[in-house]
Amino acid sequence: MKFAVSSAAVAVSLVALVPGALTAAVAKNKSPTAGRNIEVTKEMLEVSVVGGQTFRAPQVLNTGFMQQGRGPRAMAKAYAKFGLQIPPELLLLLEEILLSLGITPGSGGIAGGSGSSGSSGSSGSSGSSGSAGGNASTDAGQGMVAAIPQMFDAEYLAQVTIGTPPQTLNLDFDTGSSDLWVFSSETPKAQQGGQKLYNIAASTTAKVLAGATWNIRYGDGSSSSGDVYLDTVSVGGVTVQNQAVESAKQVSASFSSDAASSGLLGLAMNSINQVQPTPQKTFFSNAMADLAMPLFTANLKKSEAGNYNFGFIDTTEFKGSLSFIDANITNGFWQFESGGFSVGNSSTATITSFPHQAIADTGTTLLFLPDGIVNAYYGQIRSAVNSQAAGGFIFRCDEALPNLTLAIGSYNAVVLGGFMNLAPTSTKDASGAQMCFGGVQSSAGFPFSIYGDVFFKSQFVVFHGGNTQLGFAPKA
């Protein structure tokens, strides 16, 4: 049933998909051909009463966020998240960052640990073999990653309530993992860093999931682990009862250092959930049947809080039409193929063919791409240099940076050059000019490219669980 609203109301209302409109468009255009896009115009996304629920999850500022060392931190976090061995030169750089912050390398970390040989990767990996030996050793310097403040990475968080009566926690929404884990009343005080805790005993609806445990191993040898409770979880007014909540009984110090973040809410596929012996469903998977449409959108922004919308698409948040492409969920991620790229600000630039597999990951800061694309991009920046001392590609902070266009099927996603300047480094060039860390870095060593927050700040992205598709459009 349609309803009339004023133009003023439309601007703030929840805009929901007309029942079946997107599904019909998909059915009409569905093709087994990889890279085939489905265009959905704004006219197909009308204001309607559709039944089912919709909600907006606005982000909130992490008041502990710091810029210092942000580039190397983001690099190390990505290596650790996907169970990869962190390069020795990056470890040395991180040691310098720790010392500059007054943190002793290895403190609270995993020096002397047994490493992660044969580990199954992190919450973001899907059974990847991990790194033989990991980075842990009897050398204290090898344990340093676990002690670096997580505040460098999670600039914005989102509010989630758990339990009865509801307890509000700020969590990091992550489309590259599938666990909902939190600091809790079971977390040792020595591993707490001022986080708001999930008080299990205070919730009348909490019940232990007998025999269930979780253990997320990272590429630096550190880990987070604990047991599992079923409890009521709400985000933006949508409630899931008996949601698996992973209670941390042991936490890597990299998470303990961030007082503002109480944990993680994973939004990837159920298959890579780390609960044993039986993987548990994500919040989104459990909530899908009650949503007006089985999807959520990510509208992340630069230097300000963005939002996630569940069950509806807000047409005021993007320009033009949405371009949908099939997601490959075999490995548990929102994975897709990109066909090529171009560098520069011309809208008519020719796309250079460079096929590569990628995942859409809001839990990774940087944009990790194949060397051929990264080298082509920085080849257009006069002062750019791949610096071991800085941990990756850097350039003068006053450089005017070109756009990077990435072809996703027939859709060309433009990543604005202004978003490629991640943060200042401690490095200066020969003239004394400040150097900044690049937002795009090499994906060498990763099993796929990672389209992280640098990409999301230019693109409005739809994660359609019902059709296992991704939709892209330029931000409004």
Which pLDDT score, from 0 to 100, does residue 425 have? 92
Band (pLDDT 50/70/90 cuts) for residue 155 is low
Token digits of residue 208: 């232990």
* Whether the bond into 277 is cis, omega within 30 of 0: yes
Q: Which of 459 and 116 is assigned the larger pLDDT?
A: 459
- DSSP character string of 354-388: EEEEEEE-TT--SEEE-HHHHHHHHTTSTT-EEET
Compute the distance between CA of residue 186 and CA of residue 196 in angstroms, rounded to an integer: 13
For the residues 404-414, what does the mean pLDDT come to?
96
Of 390, 459, 444, whose CA–CA distance to 422 is shortest? 390
Average pLDDT, whole number, for the chain?
A: 80
DSSP 188-244: -GGG--SPPPB-STT-TT-EEEEEEEEEEE-TTS-EEEEEEEEEEEEETTEEEEEEE
Kindly report, residue by residue over 433-470, the tens digit of the pLDDT. Answer: 999 999 999 999 999 999 999 999 999 999 999 999 99
* 220 vs 373: which has the higher pLDDT: 373
3-state secondary structure of 25: helix
**pLDDT class of 181 with cuts at 50, 70, 90:** very high
What's the CATH class of domain 316-474? Answer: mainly beta
Under 8 Å between Cβ of 229 and 209? yes
Q: Catalytic amino acids?
A: 174, 361
pLDDT of 254 above 70 = no
- Domain residue ranges in the chain: 316-474
Which of 372, 340, 391, 380 is closest to 444 using CA atoms?
372
**Span 236-260, mean pLDDT?**
87
Q: What is the pLDDT of residue 103?
A: 55
- Gap between the Cα atoms of 367 and 380, Å rounded: 17
Coil, helix or strand at residue 11: helix
Q: Percent of the chain having pLDDT more than 90?
A: 56
What local confidence, expressed as pLDDT, does residue 66 receive?
A: 59
Q: Which helix (H) or strand (E) holds 169?
A: strand 167-174
As a whole number, mean pLDDT of residues 148-177 equals: 79
Distance in angstroms (rounded) separating the CA atoms of residues 310 and 303: 23
pTM of the model: 0.80
pLDDT band of 70, cuts 50, 70, 90: confident
What is the rounded CA–CA span in Å between residue 291 and residue 295? 8
- Least confident span in 155-164, 237-246, 413-422: 155-164
Q: With DSSP H G I counted as helix, E B as strand and the rest as coil, what are the percentages for the chain, rounded to 5?
A: 20, 35, 45
Side by side, the strands of the sheet bearing 449-451 are 411-415, 404-408, 335-343, 352-360, 449-451, 367-369, 440-442
136, pLDDT greater than 60? no
Q: Torsions phi, psi of 324, nearest 5?
A: -100, 145
pLDDT tens for 194-246 read: 999 999 999 999 999 999 999 987 665 667 899 999 999 999 888 999 999 99
